[in-house]
Amino acid sequence: MRPKQKIASVAHLRKVCFLNTEIGKTKVASYVLRRIFIGFLQAAGITLVVFFVIRSLPADPVARLVGFNSTPDVYNQAKASLGLDRTIWVQLGDFVGTDGSGVITGDLGKSWVTGSSVTSGVATTLPITLQLVLLSFVVAIAIAVPIGVATAKRPGGKLDKSVFGYGLFAGAQPEFWWALMFIFFFYFQLGIAPAPLGMLDPLMVAPDKITGFILIDSLLTGRVDAFFNALWHLWLPIMTLAFILSGPIIKMTRQSMARVLSSEFILYSRASGLSRKQIARSTLRASLPPILTLTGILFGFMLGGAVLIEQVFSLNGLGSYSIRAVLNLDYPAIQGTVLIITIISLIVYLILDLVLVFIDPRVKAQ
Amino acid sequence: MAKKSVKESAVFKKALWYHDRLLLAGVIIVSLALFLSVFGFMIAPYDPGTPVGPISQAPSSQHWFGTDSSGLDVFSRVITAPRIDVVLSVSAALLSGLFGTLIGLGTGFYEGRFSSLVMRISDVLQAFPIFILAMVLVALTGRNLVNLIFALTFLYTPIFVRLTRTEVLTQKTRTYVEAARATGNSEWRIALKHVLPNSLTPSLIQLSVTVGFGILLTAGLSFIGAGVRPPTPEWGLMIATSAPRLILGEWWSSLFPGIAVSLTVFGFAALGNALERRVGSA
């Protein structure tokens, strides 16, 4: 598909890019600014969509709060206290922050059910989810990429065939059910995993909160016992997510590696007598972009998709927070979680695209 | 031409399935799932909604998959559940396929301000956390089957819009379109009779995959209490209600519905994958 000239001149392109570092830098900077601007618009768009969609659906959060048999007086009082008696535009202004505190100042409002600040609710639950998802990705990539590389070396081999089946299988599986089965097997039968009841043993005192990431906090405060206890509680959820995630990553690694291995520039490097190591390195580097892109998409998906795993293991993360928000019709909390998850996904996409620029000089040249 | 007719003969197809085990597995699982979603409740040995025996019984010759904590027969429930899970996902996939393809055809064929607006909207929809959006849609519209189908359709339509649009954009520059226009066909006729049939393949493959994901989403929603209501025989709900019993050693009431979800989703994914490779190599 690609023009031959381009493939043969990767080294040349690299040289050009190297010579034009200054141009490259300003280009990258303007690209980042543009992306941040677009991301800002997207987040604003999503905020608006969520705001209007949940208000246009036939649900009655007031009745949910005061009960369906309440007197009209009580009902109207509750409605007024939630601010729902005002016009939708006033409500929107209040949410965005025209009166001085709102989304633009980082204030996501107050939960209708608990009365506590949504910002602090998200701030305490988000690190738990991020920690789980990030570690699962580290484990999944550490397992999946080497396997994918190995299968790409011998396409059609026995390993390749069985790994292909696994990749297809694990790509779409009910992770909550696998989590339950793993708990049954590893905790109930073998006893080599803790009961799925949170981040720490019930009697363990949590380390002082600094970052909110329990693994980091326990190290910062010198609580080695809490660190290992948290790891002990995390290994099964991490393995469950990694089991699901590694499927698509293996598939993509294999595909991408195989394509690069059969490309002309690898043939050219071989013909030029480069060492196996050098060839392997440039192959892996050239096959990284699609793998990273997929990882980014999976990451965005997993921030919301970890909901079920958090629920099974009673980890009180953002997923569990959003379930409570949705089932209680707690509109400020729903808006807050969706907004935060979207922003994080957008940031991840941006970081990945920047990494791609540095891996693949052709992207910068465009 | 002669070669092609051989390719399409039944004998060759048989051989094809024999050689492509993935396709075979996909076809078997998908047909079984479709069969059970129509006839499952007829061949179920017990009523899936009424208690039929002692509670929490291990699998036996009477109750193949045991009974759950309310005394319901797990086997009967597992084989009647496709009536919810599969029918729901298939209808959502077909509806989103229909809407997505038509919108994709429209926006691809007539490029302009309106079509780029539609694309931006579908971009925004795709940036949403899908599971949470599904939860919101179902919880706020009311937990029933029609609303579940509506929510899934809404979530999956953008995929089909994108797939069809991309294909339409390449197809409409082909010479056959020009020829159709030169012979005096109306634009509508060109779009519907010529471009559309040639742009359908990616969406048709995606249909199978979408059904699989729909089943996962349905089961997941029921699992957290935002899907169908108990005691509807539905796989996710069955797993949810039996999950607490797992710690007591009652594995059968959550194992079997889980295997059903796992296999069904795999079947649809395998069928989609096999079709994709077949089309790609053809």
CB B181 within 8 A of CB B238: no
- Over residues A51-84, the pLDDT tens digits come to 888 888 877 888 777 777 778 888 888 878 777 7
| Residue A101 predicted with pLDDT over 80 | no
Tell me the percentage of chain B whose pLDDT exceeds 90. Answer: 28
Tell me the percentage of chain A whose pLDDT exceeds 90. Answer: 10
| Residue B282 predicted with pLDDT over 70 | no
Q: Which residues of chain B have a CB within 8 Å of the CB of A61? A: none
| Average pLDDT value over all residues in chain B | 85
Between CA A131 and CA A317 the distance in angstroms is: 10
In Å, what is the CA distance from B279 to each residue of B201, B255, B274?
8, 36, 9
Q: Where are the domains of chain A?
A: 18-113+328-339+360-366, 121-327
Contact residues for A276 (Cβ-Cβ < 8 A; gap 6+): none
pTM: 0.83
For residue A104, give the DSSP letter: G
Between CA A200 and CA A197 the distance in angstroms is: 8
Q: Would an 8 Å CB–CB cutoff place A169 in contact with chain B?
A: yes
Q: Which residues of chain B have a CB within 8 Å of the CB of A322? A: 132, 135
- Over residues A306-348, the pLDDT tens digits come to 889 998 998 888 988 999 898 888 888 998 888 888 888 888 8
Per-residue pLDDT band for B31 (boundaries 50, 70, 90) equals very high
CB B51 within 8 A of CB B70: yes
| Residue B92 predicted with pLDDT over 90 | yes
Q: Which residues of chain B have a CB within 8 Å of the CB of A42? A: 123-124, 127
CB B224 within 8 A of CB B135: yes
Report helix, strand or coil for A110.
Answer: strand
Report helix, strand or coil for A60.
Answer: coil
Between CA A184 and CA A187 the distance in angstroms is: 6
| Residue B126 predicted with pLDDT over 80 | no
Decide if A181 and B22 are in contact by the 8 Å CB cutoff.
Answer: no
- Over residues A255-311, the pLDDT tens digits come to 888 888 888 888 888 888 888 888 888 888 888 888 888 888 888 888 877 889 998
What is the CATH code for A121-327?
1.10.3720.10
How close are the terminal C-alpha atoms of chain B, in Å? 15
- Over residues A176-189, the pLDDT tens digits come to 999 999 999 998 88
Per-residue pLDDT band for B14 (boundaries 50, 70, 90) equals low
pLDDT, position A266: 84
Between CA A351 and CA A354 the distance in angstroms is: 5
Q: For residue B188, give the amino acid letter.
A: W
Compute the radius of gyration of chain B from its Cα atoms: 22
Tell me the percentage of chain B whose pLDDT exceeds 70. Answer: 92
Q: Which of A206-215, A285-294, A311-320, B37-46 has the lowest mean pLDDT?
A: A206-215
pLDDT, position B230: 82
CB A95 within 8 A of CB A109: yes
> Which residue from B137, B142, B273 is facing A168, i.e. has the nearest CB?
B273
Decide if A177 and B226 are in contact by the 8 Å CB cutoff.
Answer: no
Instruction: Give the CATH number of domain B19-40+82-281; options: 2.60.40.10, 1.10.599.10, 1.10.3720.10, 1.10.10.60.
Output: 1.10.3720.10
Contact residues for B163 (Cβ-Cβ < 8 A; gap 6+): B100, B104, B202, B203, B206
| Residue A361 predicted with pLDDT over 70 | no
| Residue B40 predicted with pLDDT over 80 | yes
Q: Which of A155-159, A178-182, B18-22, B278-282 has the lowest mean pLDDT?
A: B278-282
Task: Return phi, psi of residue B67, to 5°.
Answer: -120, 155
State the smallest CA–CA distance between residue A326 and chain B in angstroms.
Answer: 6
